[in-house]
C-alpha cells in the first residue's frame, strides 16, 4: 500500500480541524472533525484537558496506566511470595496503556513523530502478550520450572519479532486486516500453549484455567471482531462518532477490562495453588 503524500499543516495550532483541513497522515477513516494539528509537545500535553477527537481515547488508557502503575509499585515493594510475578504482569499492562495514551496525546506533532508513536503503541501490544504468556506459564507449570522456561521462550520469540515489525516506519500504512494478522502471530504461541496444557493438566486443574480465562478470552475475541469490523462507525456512517471514535473506544474499554479481570483472576489462582516457582 502506497504511503499518502504529505501536505502543509494549517498555519496556526488548533484542536478542532475538519478532516479536509489536515494532511492524510493525520486523518482517521470515518472521523470528520475534532482533529488537532500544528501543535508542539507542550500544546499536545495541555490538549488532554480540552475537547477533541482523541481526548476520550487518551483518558480511557491513561487512567488504567496510572492504576496499574500503582499496582506494579505495590507488588514490587511487597514481600509476598507472588510479588515478582505479578509486578511483571502488572508492569506489562502499565506499559501498553502508557504507550497508547502517549500515542494519542502526542501523535499530531509531525509525521515522523506520528509514525514513531504509532509504532510504539503497536510494539507495546507485543510486550503485554508476552506478559500474559509469562504469567500463564508460571501459573500452569508452577511445579515444572523447565517447562516454564520453554514456554517463556516460545512467547518471547514471536513477540520480539512483532515488536520489531511494529517499529518499522511503514507499519502504519499497512491495511487494518494486515495489522491485526500480525498481532495474531505472537498469539499463536498462546494457542499452542493452550493445546499443550489441555493435554498435560489433570481435569480439575484444567477447569481452573478455564474459569480464570473465560471472561478475558471472550473480551479479547469481541475486541478483535469489533476492531476489525470498525463497528459501529463503518456500518452507521450517518451517526457522528467523532468524539468517541466508535470501535477504538470499545478497544480501550475491553482491553482495560481484560487487564483488571485477568490480574484479579490469576491472583486468586496463585493464592489457591501456592506457587513457589516463577
What residues form the annotated binding site? 104, 248, 252
Residue located via cell numbers 477513516: 29
Q: Please say whether the beta carbons of 169 and 115 come within 8 A.
A: yes
Which sign, positive or negative, has the C-alpha torsion 199, 202, 208, 211? positive
Positions at the binding site for Zn(2+): 104, 248, 252
Please give the helix or strand (H or E) that residue 193 lies within, else none. Answer: helix 176-200
Q: What is the Cα–Cα distance from 49 to 105, expressed in whole angstroms?
A: 11
Q: Please say whether the beta carbons of 136 and 107 come within 8 A.
A: no
Please give the helix or strand (H or E) that residue 15 lies within, else none. Answer: strand 14-17
Amino acid at each position: 500500500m502506497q504511503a499518502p503524500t504529505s501536505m502543509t499543516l494549517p498555519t496556526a495550532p488548533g484542536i478542532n480541524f475538519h478532516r479536509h483541513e489536515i494532511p492524510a497522515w493525520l486523518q482517521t477513516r470515518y472521523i470528520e472533525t475534532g482533529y488537532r494539528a500544528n501543535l508542539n509537545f507542550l500544546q499536545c500535553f495541555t490538549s488532554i484537558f480540552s475537547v477533541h477527537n482523541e481526548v476520550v481515547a487518551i483518558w480511557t488508557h491513561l487512567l488504567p496506566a496510572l492504576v496499574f502503575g500503582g499496582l506494579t509499585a505495590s507488588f514490587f515493594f511487597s514481600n509476598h511470595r507472588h510479588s515478582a510475578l505479578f509486578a511483571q504482569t502488572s508492569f506489562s499492562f502499565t506499559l501498553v496503556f502508557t504507550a497508547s495514551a502517549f500515542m494519542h496525546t502526542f501523535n499530531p506533532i509531525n509525521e515522523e513523530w506520528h509514525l514513531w508513536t504509532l509504532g510504539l503503541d503497536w510494539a507495546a501490544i507485543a510486550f503485554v502478550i508476552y506478559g500474559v504468556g509469562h504469567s500463564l506459564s508460571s501459573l500452569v507449570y508452577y511445579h515444572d520450572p523447565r517447562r516454564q522456561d520453554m514456554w517463556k521462550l516460545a512467547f518471547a520469540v514471536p513477540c520480539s519479532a512483532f515488536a520489531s515489525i511494529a517499529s518499522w516506519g511503514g507499519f502504519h500504512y499497512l491495511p487494518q486486516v494486515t495489522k491485526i494478522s500480525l498481532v495474531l502471530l505472537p498469539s499463536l504461541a498462546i494457542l499452542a500453549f493452550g493445546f499443550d496444557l489441555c493435554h498435560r493438566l489433570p481435569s480439575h486443574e484444567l477447569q481452573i484455567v478455564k474459569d480464570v480465562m473465560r471472561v478475558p478470552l471472550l473480551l479479547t475475541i469481541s475486541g478483535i471482531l469489533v476492531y476489525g469490523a470498525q463497528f459501529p462507525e463503518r456500518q452507521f456512517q450517518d451517526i457522528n462518532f467523532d468524539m468517541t471514535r466508535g470501535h477504538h473506544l470499545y478497544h480501550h474499554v475491553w482491553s482495560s477490562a481484560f487487564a483488571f479481570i485477568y490480574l484479579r483472576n490469576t491472583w486468586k489462582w496463585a493464592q489457591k495453588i501456592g506457587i513457589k516457582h516463577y
